[in-house]
Structure formats: structure tokens, C-alpha cells
Amino acid sequence: MSSIERLGYPARIIVVYAAVLALAVQWFVKPLGQGWLWPGTAIILVAAATLVGWRSIRLARARERSADMLKALGTATAELPISLRRRMPLVLVTGDVLAALFDRRSGENRLVFVGDGAIWVRVNRPQDLPQVALAMRQWRDGQAPDGVVLSVAPAIHADADALAQKLRLVRQARADASRMVSARLPGYVAVYQRLTRLEPQDTEARAQWYGASAATPLVDSQSFEAVVRAAEATAVHESPDPYYAAHAAGLASIVGWTQRVVFSTLSDPRQPAQPWPLHGAGWLDCGPASDASRPWERDVRSSTHVAPPSVATSRAPWSLPQPLIESMPRHLRASPRLAAMGHALALVALAAVASFWGSGQHNAEFIARARADLDRYAAIPADRDSARRDALKEIVADRDELDHYARDGVPLRLGFGLYHGARLSPSLNHAIASYQPPPPAPAVVTLDSMSLFDSGKAVLKPGSNRALVGSLEMIKAHPDKRILVAGYTDNVGDSASNLKLSLARAAALRDWLVDASGIAATQFAIQGYGDTRPIASNETDEGRARNRRVEITLVPDNTAASAHVSSVQAPSLANAADRRNNMQ
């Protein structure tokens, strides 16, 4: 981590911290459901990597562009306590004649000047204001610069248009700097212009600033009129000295010119950049050499038809506008580390909200699913046993899931004090205990052959269907059973003929049952036994009558029956696990 970021806001640590919290919520709570687990994880990781990379590149560029400035700051403020960095105003100065303001000795190229009331930072190019402001904020432990001073020397500009173009560039740079450091940077204008060739008797008079400043954006015409009146009052008081009268006249002219040319350009609402928040403006009778060809002098000549005299360059160094910033707004901001701790707590709160919301959603889904399973089971009629058994399997799985949570603990996705699934256990257990399987189907129905067929015939007699009604109802009540139709005879006659007759009678009865029940013929099987399986003695008429019969047997599907017993009486926890996974 860079030295700049160690002093400032630990943005990359906060991004990583937020990503860890988001991943924990995503994996343990799954607020958006199982389907968003991997896509959400990928989005979080990509977003975190992008933000960390962007922040790293930004810091590297800030270090590279501000290396000389940070070194100069370290040298100039070596004797200042670190706490004083945040309390002492720090002002960025850009614009004209910066060398005359900062270079106190010949050949010196000073970037920082620590005065009695402020730290002044020199920004040679206006377009560097955003990067320098960002570096200053990091150097001051997260506090942005307190203001920006624009130095204007009309005498170094060829005409007002060239000056206006430079002012627009400064205006845009200040707006970018304010946006980059996320702070409103108050603006000040300091005008350096020789107003007269006369020298005051008091050598300190020429270094006196005339201006107006306030904690809120000024600056109206009345404020500047007060500046001119103060100069005129000084001229009256110092009437023996002609310097003050000439100075007051020149000051009135330069103030008006500054309003028309400088302030109007900085505050023009038609420009795309944010208007310059002017908190103060000042004028000093000091500046570079000037003659009648310069912008202010031409303005004076056009309005008064009197050309101001040529003046020589003031001796450097020139005074920095300390009086302008004495009323600047001061905002003591919290340490960036304290701000980071607050943001970390806010992220924890946000993760908790997401967890509670996701847990509530999962609990509502689980309870709704269990209630739907109970309602579906209760709505199935008792005569539809197959459908009731399928619904009962879902209820058993719900009950097993609740038992698993009771034994091993509630998962985080259902926890956070929102789990109410236990109250469903009585209803589920009651539904399971209330299930009653249907009575078993009759194993065998025996019909007298002579009531169905004529002697020696295999064609059903007219009216024989009345004897088959009971058998038909039994078959329809158990459509999932296979049906075996078997024919039997007594021992009268040839055994081969008896065997053939018994099979034909079974087939005839089978065909009638298929037509009457609508059950597929594949569910039926036929068998002829002839006289091989008597149930009574063939020596008597009564015994032979009992042996002449047709039997209808319902054959259960042993595989389905076994599965039913296994699923209802001894349900597998694997089914419950599958359902839990599907719900997740």
C-alpha cells in the first residue's frame, strides 16, 4: 500500500471487506436462491477486482504526478506536527506570476511556502489542479484543500480575450478538482497590478491589500464599492501624500475592470464548467512592468481618454493574499480511518439486512411449500390411493427435513431468528398418522360356470352379465392390479376337451371384462386347467357342480407394493435432502 493511501482513506481495504461480506451472504444465506450462487459470486469478484485495480491505478498516477510536490511538502513542513496539517489552512495557488510569489531567493523554484497563517501550494499549470488537490487530500489525512487562489496579473496578457481563455481553463480545472476530492473548494482572486508610478512615503503602504472576503460566496458590487471607499478614505486621511489619491483612482478603475473581465468570465452561466465560487477578491499595488498597450491600461484610456503611465516591475517577492483567506470557511472533517470504520459498520448492517431479507424469503418459501403439500394431500379423495401415497411422500419429506433441523441445527439461510418451521411439525405428523390404506382387494372371486355358459359351450349366456356385476366393480376399484381369469371343469368327458373348454371359457369372460371395464387387455391373463384342479370330489353331483367354475384373481404388483411400504413406513432421508437441495 502506498504512503499516500496509508495516510488517507483505505479504499481498497474497504472494497475487499465489502466483497468478503457479500460472498459470505451469497454462500451461506443465498438471498437470491441457489440459481444465483455462482453468477452472483462471479459478479462480486469481478466488481471487487475492477474497483481495486482502478483505485491502484489512480493512486499510482497521483503519486507519479505529485512526487515533486509531496517531496516539497515534506521538506517545507518537516517541523510542523502532523495534527497541524489538518488545522492550518492549505491553499492552492495557480495562475500568473507564481515565481514572484513563491521564489524568495534568486534561482529558487519553490513549490510550497509555509506562512504564518497558511500553507501555500504552487500549481504551475491549471490543468494540474485536480491531481494536486487529490494528493493534498491524501497528505492531509483525508481533508481536502481549503481553497484555490487565482493570481491575475493583467500586465502580462496581450489582450482581454487571451486572458478570458485562460480564465475558462482555470474555471474548468477547479471544477474538476472539486469533483475529484468530493469537496467544495472556495475560490479567491488576487490581482497584481501597478496602479501608479508614485511611491508612498510609508514604504509599507504599497504592500497593503484592498479587498473583500466572506465565509459564503460573495461577491456583489456593494462589497467592491466598499473597497473603493476604503481607499478613498485613506487618501483623504493621508492628503499630504499624492500617492493615495492616485492609488484610489487606479483602484476604482481596476476593480471595475476586474468585475467586467475576470469575474464575468468565471461566473458566466453559459460556460459548461461549474461557476467559480468566489469567496474573496483582493487587489495589490504591485506587479509586473506595464504600459499603455496592456488590457487594463487600454480600458482606462478608452473610458477616460487618458493613458496611464508606464510602470516598472515591482521588486520580488510579492505578498501572498493572506488577508483574503482569513475568513475562509473551515470544515473539520472526521479522520478517514474513522470514516472507514463507519463505512465498515454500515457494510455489516447492509449485510445483516440482506441476510434477514434472504432468510425471511427462504422461510416463507419453505412454509408455503409445506402448507401446499398438506393442502394437496387433504384435497385427494380417499378412493385415489395412488395419488394420496404420492402426496404423502412429499409430507414425509417435509417432516424429515424438520426433524433434521431439530437434530443438527437450522442452516443460516433459514436462521437469523426468522425460523418458524417447527410449528408445522404437528400438522405434518397428524397428516402422516391419519393415512389409512384401502382394504385389500378380494384375492379370488369364484363364479359357477353353468350360470354363465351352457353345457359344453364357451359363449356367455344372455343375462349372465348380472352375475358378473360384482366382479366388474371389484376390477374397476383396483385398476392398477393385474387380473388372472382361470377356467375349471369336472372330470366328465375327455380331459383334453375339458382343458380346451376351460381355456375358451376363460377367454370369453376376459373379453367381456375388457369391454365392460375399459381396462387394457394387457392387464388380463387367462389360464385353462380343465379337470386337473378339483376343489371337491367328482364322485357326486354336488362335487362336480363345485368343480365347474371360473375364478377371477386380482394379482398385486409385488414391486410397486414393496416400494410403497418402503417409502411410507421407512422414508429415506435422501429424499428429504434432495428436496432441501431443490429448495435451496
**Contact present, 89 and 146 (Cβ < 8 Å):** yes
Entry pTM: 0.57
Beta pairing class for 278-284 and 444-448: unpaired
First-residue to last-residue Cα distance in the chain: 40
- 546 backbone dihedrals φ, ψ, rounded to 5°: -70, -30
Closest CA to 510 of 498, 527, 495, 493: 527
Q: What b/e readout covers 187-196, taking b as 16+ CB neighbours within 10 angstroms?
A: bbbbbbbbbb
User: What is the rounded CA–CA span in Å between residue 581 and residue 576?
Assistant: 9
Q: Which residue's entry shows cell 454462500? A: 27
User: What is the rounded CA–CA span in Å between residue 34 and residue 503?
Assistant: 61
Q: What is the spatial order of strands in the sheet that 524-530 belongs to?
A: 444-448, 549-555, 482-488, 524-530
Q: What b/e readout covers 476-499, taking b as 16+ CB neighbours within 10 angstroms?
A: eebeebebbbbbbbbbeeeeeebb
Closest CA to 86 of 327, 332, 326: 332
- pLDDT at position 417, please? 57
**Contact present, 548 and 489 (Cβ < 8 Å):** yes
User: What is the rounded CA–CA span in Å between residue 32 and residue 506?
Assistant: 63
- pLDDT at position 532, please? 93
- pLDDT at position 566, please? 36
Q: What is the spatial order of strands in the sheet that 119-122 belongs to?
A: 112-114, 119-122, 90-95, 147-152, 187-192, 278-284, 209-213
User: What is the rounded CA–CA span in Å between residue 30 and residue 581?
Assistant: 12
Closest CA to 551 of 565, 576, 537, 534: 534
Angle at 449 between CA 445 and CA 452, to 5 degrees: 95
Q: What b/e readout covers 227-242, taking b as 16+ CB neighbours within 10 angstroms?
A: bbeebbebbeebeebe
Closest CA to 362 of 10, 139, 34, 143: 34
User: What is the rounded CA–CA span in Å between residue 41 and residue 22?
Assistant: 9
**Residues whose CB is less than 8 angstroms from the CB of residue 161 and which lie 6 or more positions away in sequence, other chains included:** none
- Backbone CA torsion sign across 540, 545, 550, 554: negative
Where the chain has pLDDT below 70, the residues are: 1-8, 62-63, 106-107, 219-222, 331-335, 416-418, 439-443, 556-584
**Residues whose CB is less than 8 angstroms from the CB of residue 373 and which lie 6 or more positions away in sequence, other chains included:** 391, 394, 395, 398
Closest CA to 437 of 309, 308, 561, 291: 561
- pLDDT at position 335, please? 66
DSSP 213: E
- pLDDT at position 446, please? 87
**Contact present, 219 and 212 (Cβ < 8 Å):** yes
